[in-house]
Every structure is written in C-alpha cells, then in structure tokens.
Amino acid sequence: MTTCRFSVSAKLFVFAAVFILTSQLAPAQEASRAIPVFATKVTTGTINRRIDTSADVLPLLGVSVHPEAAGRIVEIYVDVGSQVKKDQELAKINDDVQRAQFAQAEAAVTVAKASIELQKVMFESAQSALLAAKAGVEAASSQQKNLAQTRTRLEKLLKEGAVSRQQFDDLMAQYDSANARLVAANTDVSRANDAVMSAKMTIGVRRAELVQAEANLNAIRVALENTMVRAPFDGVVVARHADTGAMANPATPLFRVEQINPVRIIASVIEKDIDLIKSGKTPVIINLDAINEAYEAVADLVYPSIDAVSKTGRVEIILKNPENRIRSGMFARLSFLLNTSVDVPIVARDSLIRHNGQHFVYVIENDRAVRRQVEIGIVDEARVEILSGLKAGEQIIARGLEFVREGSQVKIVESESER
C-alpha cells in the first residue's frame, strides 16, 4: 500500500478546490458551506527590530612582512600556522658584509677615542707650559721693578758724584736685560695661550670625529640588525612566500602575519539606517555559517563618513577569538538589534492583510471569520508584533486568507501549532 503525503499548501489547495467545485454544483448551499483554513493561536514572545547585513571577517592587525635588507636567506624559523610574539625572529639574511663593516666602524670609534685621549694629554701639557710662562713673566716683572727702583737711586747718586758712571752703566745694562726677559716671558705666555687654545680646539675636532664614527657604527649596527626579519606584533603566520636560499628584496614580502584574537568585522549599512546604530550601545548578532556559530557583540565604532560611491556607512565590531576558531576571510551575517519588545503578542507575517495602509487579521469566532484591524509594531523576517487589536490566546486564520471574507464560515483543517 502506498501512502501519499501532501504539503500544507497542497492540502489547503485541495480543500479549497473541493469547496469551489461543490459550491458551483450546489449554489443554494454556498452560504452554509464552511471554508477550510489553517489556524493558529496568538502567542507572546520576544521580537527585535533589526538591520540585517553581511561582512567579511578581518584580522585586528594584518601586515605583509618585508625584509629591510637585501641578500640571500640563510635561515627561516617559522612556517604557515606558527604562533609568533612581537620581535620574534622569523628569518635570517646573510650578514657577512654587514659584520665586516661593523668591525671596521668599531675600529674607527676606538681610534677616535684614542685621538681624544692624546689631545687631552697635549692640552694638559700646553696648560703646564702656560703656567710656567706666567711664572716667568712674574719673575721678570719683579726683577725689572727692582732694577727700575735701583736706577732711580743711582741717578741721584750719580748727580751727587756718590757713584761712578761705570756703576750706573752696569745697572742700566742689567735693567735693559730685565726688560728683554720680561718681553720674552710675555711672548712665551702668548705662545702658551695659543697652544692651549689649539689643543682645546683639536679636542673638539676629535670629539666631533668620535660622534661621526659612533653614528656610522650605529648605522651599520642597524643594517646588521635588519638582516634579521622579526614579527611586528603577536599573531599567526598565515603565508610564507620564500624558502631558504632565495634572494630577499625589500620590495617583496616574505611572510603575512595576522592578529586574529580578537578579529575585526566591518559591515556596510545603507545611509538611511546608519544613524540608527550607536557606537558602544547597539547589540549585534553575528552568524558564522562556516563554523555554525552565532556570537553576541556590540557595535564598537560607527564610521563618521559615508562612501560616496556605494552610499553606505561602515560599522566596526571587535569580536574576541580566544580559541582561534574564527578565521580571517570568513563570511559573516549580521543582525543589528535596534530595539526589543518582550512578552508581547506576536503573529506570523503571512496572517496579516494590508489594505489602504491599515493592517487586519481574521479572528475565528463561533466558526466564522471576523476581520479585525490591528496596530503593528516591530516586524522581522517572519513575525510581527501586535500593539493593539489582539490578545494572546485568540485564534486567527494563519493561511487560506485568499478564500475568506468577512463573516465566512470556516473549518479548521489543521492548526499551525500541530505542525
């Protein structure tokens, strides 16, 4: 024995067809013939006004890692899927040239430091010579003053005839010699001063040479460090573009590193709806069909601008991903929940009739269809909130509305709650 099963719509069509055929055969009995309908009871529940959109999952951070030095790759320490920490070594580029340059630069710094020490010794020697020359000036000046006083006395004695001319001339010779020594001593002081200044300036030059040598050393140190390719942040290696032995070039990336805990989702929302979403407040449900998971989050950031071409705004959501189940590039379906009504009467959208901007349902009273106007609230994909006109528990026609009129006698063939 073969059993045939019909869908709900097929059953309704069969019942309606039988009713119409019977009505045509027996017009006199039309008023008493009941119309088969599907019914349901009004229930209470929770419904959300929402905006639905879609987006791709993006990493919180994602960069292509380029080498900063050119050369042959001698070591690769990670592979696709490797978890890495910031500054972790990823690959090594041959550094023989940089090491040789670094050794040469270190030697230049050592020479510059030695030159400064030598100039310091010369500066100290010049300072000692200056002190000695100043002492010579003081001695010559003292002697010259003494001889000047003696000359004054002998000039008086010579006039009085108390000393001979020869004695006076001998004194004058000594006085002239003392003046000459004073002049020579002052010249020595000037020369010593010049030597001190020259030594001081030379020290400045040597220090500048040291600064230049150290700067060159630091530059070569950076070049040497750049032969090691490092991770820019904590993350995971999602791509590797080279093998050991290949030539590295700063223009070509070696790796792709992404941080996927948390991930970033940027959704596009049409411009007329973007103001309905509030940063840090609007809840959002994120469905990831690839892993059959749904997540609850909040809109973290509503971008301030509208795209001039697509006329959409962007909303950013940061979603935690501690187990790394969510992968960048996944497709996400998003529902922004604008407001929520709880414990309110709810009916299916298919049970509503719209006419002249008003909404109606057919309530079943005493086996007859009674059209009743209702005020609706939140509407989602399949359900409608009833603000007024219906109460929970009342029975309404769910399907078959096209065959029903005000006051029509109806027969419930199946209840939506029984399906």
Domain boundary among the residues 248, 281, 311 is at: 248
Residues 163 and 123 grouped into a single domain: yes
Residue 308 lies inside a defined structural domain of this protein:
yes
pLDDT value of position 32: 53
Q: Is the dihedral of CA 396, 402, 406, 407 positive or negative?
A: negative
Task: Indicate whether 280 pLDDT > 90.
Answer: yes
Residues 361 and 409 grouped into a single domain: yes
Each residue of 103-144: pLDDT tens digit? 999 999 999 999 999 988 888 888 888 888 888 888 878 877
Task: Indicate whether 325 pLDDT > 80.
Answer: yes
Q: How confident is the model at residue 416 (pLDDT cuts 50, 70, 90)?
A: low
Residues 268 and 380 grouped into a single domain: no
pLDDT value of position 79: 95
The number of distinct structural domains making up the chain is 4
Q: How confident is the model at residue 315 (pLDDT cuts 50, 70, 90)?
A: very high
Mean pLDDT of 192-217: 90
Strand order in the sheet with 89-93: 228-230, 89-93, 71-76, 247-248
Read off the CATH number of the domain in which 409 is found.
2.40.420.20
Residue 3 lies inside a defined structural domain of this protein:
no
Q: How confident is the model at residue 389 (pLDDT cuts 50, 70, 90)?
A: very high
Q: How confident is the model at residue 146 (pLDDT cuts 50, 70, 90)?
A: confident
pLDDT value of position 227: 96
Task: Indicate whether 5 pLDDT > 50.
Answer: no
pLDDT value of position 108: 94
The whole-angstrom separation of Cα 154 and Cα 164 is 9
pLDDT value of position 12: 47
Task: Indicate whether 418 pLDDT > 80.
Answer: no
Mean pLDDT of 318-337: 93
Q: How confident is the model at residue 417 (pLDDT cuts 50, 70, 90)?
A: low
Domain boundary among the residues 269, 303, 338 is at: 338
Task: Indicate whether 9 pLDDT > 80.
Answer: no
pLDDT value of position 224: 95
Residues 58 and 38 grouped into a single domain: no
pLDDT value of position 362: 93
Domain boundary among the residues 304, 338, 372 is at: 338
Q: How confident is the model at residue 184 (pLDDT cuts 50, 70, 90)?
A: confident
Residues 263 and 197 grouped into a single domain: no
Domain that holds residue 71: 67-91+229-248
Each residue of 15-71: pLDDT tens digit? 545 444 444 444 444 445 788 888 999 999 988 888 999 999 999 999 999 999 999
Q: How confident is the model at residue 401 (pLDDT cuts 50, 70, 90)?
A: confident
Residue 236 lies inside a defined structural domain of this protein:
yes
Candidate ranges 6-15, 84-93, 334-343, 384-393; pick with highest mean pLDDT? 84-93
- Say if residue 283 is exposed, middle or buried (CB neighbours under 10 Å; 0-12, 13-18, 19+): middle
Residue 56 lies inside a defined structural domain of this protein:
yes
Residues 16 and 103 grouped into a single domain: no
Q: How confident is the model at residue 156 (pLDDT cuts 50, 70, 90)?
A: confident
Q: In this structure, are residues 254 and 240 in contact, taking their beta carbons and an 8 Å threshold?
A: yes
Each residue of 337-372: pLDDT tens digit? 988 889 999 999 889 988 888 999 999 999 899 999
Residues 194 and 103 grouped into a single domain: yes
